[in-house]
A and B are shown apart, each in its own frame.
Chain A
Amino acid sequence: MTSVLDINNLEFSWPNSTRPLLKVEEFQVSQGEHLFLQGPSGSGKSTLLNIIAGVLTPQKGDIHLFGNDFQAYTAAQKDKVRGDHMGFIFQMFNLLPFLSIIENVTLPCQFSKVKKDNVFDKGLSLEKEACRLLKELDLDIQLIGDKKVSDLSVGQQQRVAAARALIGSPKLIIADEPTSALDADVRDRFLQLLFKECKTSETSLVFVSHDLSLGRQFDKVLSLKDINKASPMQTQSAEVPT
């Protein structure tokens, strides 16, 4: 299997901190793989995802994304890679409240010709594809109508966000605790639908949560503690002089 993401000897520390937050010797995601990354709050999960997205730049290390040296890219190139090949689902605040459901879902295609062409290659219009994805995720536009997303329930919003991440068949979907607002039943169903869609388009998934119980449904479960060689914060704070 080809690897979608390949991280080696990464080291990252926040500018105003003396101690590195992350020291990752090796981290890989292969094509189509569904990876679960677990870690306690504040351990640096979101920080790692920001690095993968090209939003934060690590002080050291190689990042190969889709076979390209991501570190060598300019900010604008990173924007483009992010727009063309990645999809994101976050826990909160990720939809534009003033746009309708369909407009939100198709928004990534406004920024990326690659995603748009991927949809057209299926022989579908952007709207049709958005409707199809939403339907797969159990959100039937024909039933609820193309309302403003602010009129949806949190669970429904979550699925709109997932459809938006899935549209245009990105190679990698990054999900940062997207289910923390859902109850257990809805959450499991949501995950199943997400997996199904990812499978059909061979999309890799990096799913981050502090809730280890979700890990069962994934191909691979990693604990950030295990891959991060930086001394954990707890140790650090214990060294306060007495």
Chain B
Amino acid sequence: MKLLNISLKSLLNRKGTTFLTILSIALSVALLLGIERIRTGAKQSFESTVSGVDLIAGARSGPINLMLYSVFRIGNATNNVSYQTFKDISNRDDVSWSIPISLGDSHKGYKVVGTSLDYFKHFKFAGNKNLKFMTGNEFKGLYDVVLGADVASQLKYQIGDKIVLSHGSDKISFQDHADKPFTVVGVLSKTGTPVDQSLHVSLEAIEAIHIGWQQTPGDTHSGDMHNHDTANESTLTPKSITAFFLKLNSRLDVFNVKNDIDNYNQEAVMAVLPGVVLRDLWNTIGSAEKTLLAVSLLVFLVSLVSMIISLLATLNERRREMAIFRSLGAQKGFIFSVLIIETGLLTLLGILLGLLILYIALFSFKPVLESQMGLNVNLLTPSMNDFVYLSVIFASSLCVGILPSYKAYKNSLADGLTIKS
């Protein structure tokens, strides 16, 4: 009879407690790795808020500032970029496509983005996902608006609803463009990015609602200018935009183009690499991740302790068994091997079951994580961290096995032939 055989039979004999121990290890492992996945997922989805964009350009200011207003729609641009500059740069041979962004208006606190149809075609998030329409489609008419998922769900808008945009970003705006209501023509699917909190209209629409805005209110003449027909007939070519996204034909040209934009002499503009800035930004504001990391570590500690407790409990059960082995002449090596094989086996099975639980959970919650939280980055591939955690768990379980083995060895000697209970 082999040693492993004895261990297995002994484990099977204690099916109930064995299973509970394995389950408790498994739950700890699943919880720990699950939190890890969410942590790295949060970081990765933040870093891929915009993807497929090589450069973001705007008026010269700080890179983080440019990123904040163009991508996250936080704060305001210090300056605009002239439409001419946008055209000039977009028409470069090395530029594959470009998306203009024009900000400054809002609707009930949600930002309005003036852009082109390229936005829906080319904008990517979370790696390489394109924007999708939950209902409806792109804006076609001048007063069409496409809503982000959160805007539609929070304000309970549907296709065909008429909404009014306001100037500025405050919830209560003094300047409503009330005479120019927009019609909801599309709602985007959830992305987990600021796109969800935006309303999208054409650049021309932005121009249109601002016609006559700079004239003093109450000017009788402006009243005529404010009707739809006038707006459509006016020359609606935008004069300026806030920022633009660029995709190059070859990524190798990124630094070249960035350099050219930074040194553009007609206007003070600059370009940033979104990935780099997003990472910087995450590092400065990523306290959420640090919190999750702290939670991970705490969960890890608690998992270890609970694993140790359940292993110690099972090992105590083995006292009588060990006393019998010793009375039959079993030596130190045998007692140690039996107990260490047992803890190793329990931990291994616990880890495997934990991974199974984790993957079942990830697969079943994947749609929810994606649609509700916008977390959908590589949840399924194990990370280096996972291996580190798992090996620490395994190693410490073996150490835990050694400790009671020693105790069992000593005890069984003292319990010896007169085990009482």
- Given the complex, which residues of A lie within 8 Å of B416, measured CB to CB? 50, 53, 55-56
Tell me the A residues contacting B by CB distance below 8 Å: 46, 49-50, 53, 55-56, 75-76, 79-80, 82-84, 86, 88, 90, 93-99, 103, 106-108, 110-112, 164, 174, 176
* Given A97-B13, A98-B10, A110-B1: A53 in contact with B417 (beta carbons within 8 A): yes
Pick the contact of B328 from A75, A103, A111 — CB < 8 Å?
A: A111
B residues in contact with A79, CB < 8 Å: 326, 329-332
Select the residue from B1, B329, B419, B421 with max chain A CB neighbours within 10 A: B329
CA of A176 to CA of B12, assembled, Å: 30
A90's contact among B321, B331, B332, B417, by CB below 8 Å, is which?
A: B417
A46 contacts B12, CB within 8 Å?
no
B9 located at the interface, meaning its Cβ lies under 8 Å from any Cβ of chain A in the complex: yes
Of chain A, the residue at the smallest CB distance from B10 is A98
B418 within 8 A of A: yes
A96 near B1 (CB under 8 angstroms)?
A: no
List 20 additional A-B contacts (Cβ < 8 Å) besides A49-B417, A76-B332, A83-B329: A46-B417, A53-B416, A53-B417, A55-B414, A83-B328, A83-B331, A88-B417, A90-B417, A93-B419, A95-B324, A96-B10, A99-B6, A99-B9, A107-B1, A111-B325, A111-B329, A111-B330, A111-B331, A112-B329, A164-B328
The one of A50, A55, A76, A94 that contacts B324, using a Cβ cutoff of 8 Å:
A94
Count contacts between A and B, CB distance < 8 Å: 75
Q: Counting CB contacts under 8 A, is B334 at the interface?
A: yes
> Bound state CA distance, A55 and B327, in angstroms?
9
Contacts A97-B13, A98-B13; is A46 near B418 (CB within 8 Å)?
A: yes
Q: Distance (Å) between the CB of A209 and the closest chain B CB?
A: 14
Which of B13, B328, B417 interacts with A55 by CB under 8 Å?
A: B417
Residues of A within 8 A of B332 (CB): 76, 79
Are the CB atoms of A55 and B329 closer together than 8 Å?
no
- B residues less than 8 Å from A96 (CB atoms): 10, 321, 324
Partner of B329, one of A80, A90, A93, A176: A80
B124 at the interface (CB under 8 A from A): no
B413 interfacial by beta-carbon distance below 8 Å = yes
Complex CA gap A181/B332 in Å reads 32
In the complex, which residue of chain B has the Cβ closest to the Cβ of A84? Answer: B329
Interface string of B382-421 (1 = CB under 8 A from A): 0000000000000000000000000000000110111101
* Residue from B9, B10, B331 in contact with A80 in the complex, judged by beta carbons closer than 8 Å: B331
Instruction: List residues of B (49-88) whose CB comes within 8 Å of A's CBs.
Output: none
Kindly state whether residue B320 has any CB partner on chain A within 8 Å: yes
**A82 pairs with B329, CB closer than 8 A:** yes
B residues within 8 A CB of A86? 329
Contact with A along B293-327 (1 / 0, CB 8 A): 00000000000000000000000000011001111
A-B contact pairs, 5 of them (CB 8 A): A50-B416, A86-B329, A90-B418, A97-B13, A112-B329
**Cα distance, A53 to B416, chains bound together (Å):** 9
With the chains together, A106 CA to B416 CA distance in Å?
Answer: 20
Given contacts A83-B328, A83-B329, contact A50 B418 (CB under 8 A): yes
Question: What residues of chain B lie closer than 8 Å to A76, measured between beta carbons?
Answer: 331-332
Shortest distance in angstroms between B68's beta carbon and chain A's nearest beta carbon? 66
Q: Give Cα distance in the complex from A120 to B334, angstroms.
A: 23
Cβ–Cβ < 8 Å partners of A98 in chain B? 9-10, 12-13
CB nearest neighbor in B for A83:
B329
B412 closest partner in A (C-beta): A55
In the bound complex, residues from chain B placing their C-beta under 8 Å from that of A110 are: 1
**Max chain A CB contacts within 10 Å: which of B326, B334, B414?**
B326
Q: Which residue of B lies closest to A107 (CB)?
A: B328
CA distance A55 to B417 in the complex (A): 8
Q: Report how far A112 CA is from B332 CA in the complex, Å.
A: 14
User: Within 8 Å CB of A103, what residues of B?
Assistant: 1
Docked CA distance A83–B326 (Å): 8
- Closest B residue to A106 by beta carbon equals B1
B residues 207-232 in Cβ contact with A at 8 Å: none
Residues of A within 8 A of B320 (CB): 93
Pick the contact of A75: B6, B10, B413, B421 (CB < 8 A).
B413
| Contact across chains for B418 and A176 when beta carbons are under 8 A apart | yes
In this complex, what residue of A is CB-closest to B14?
A98
Kindly state the separation between the CA atoms of A163 and B6 in the bound complex, as whole angstroms.
Answer: 20
* B326 neighbours in A (Cβ, 8 Å): 79
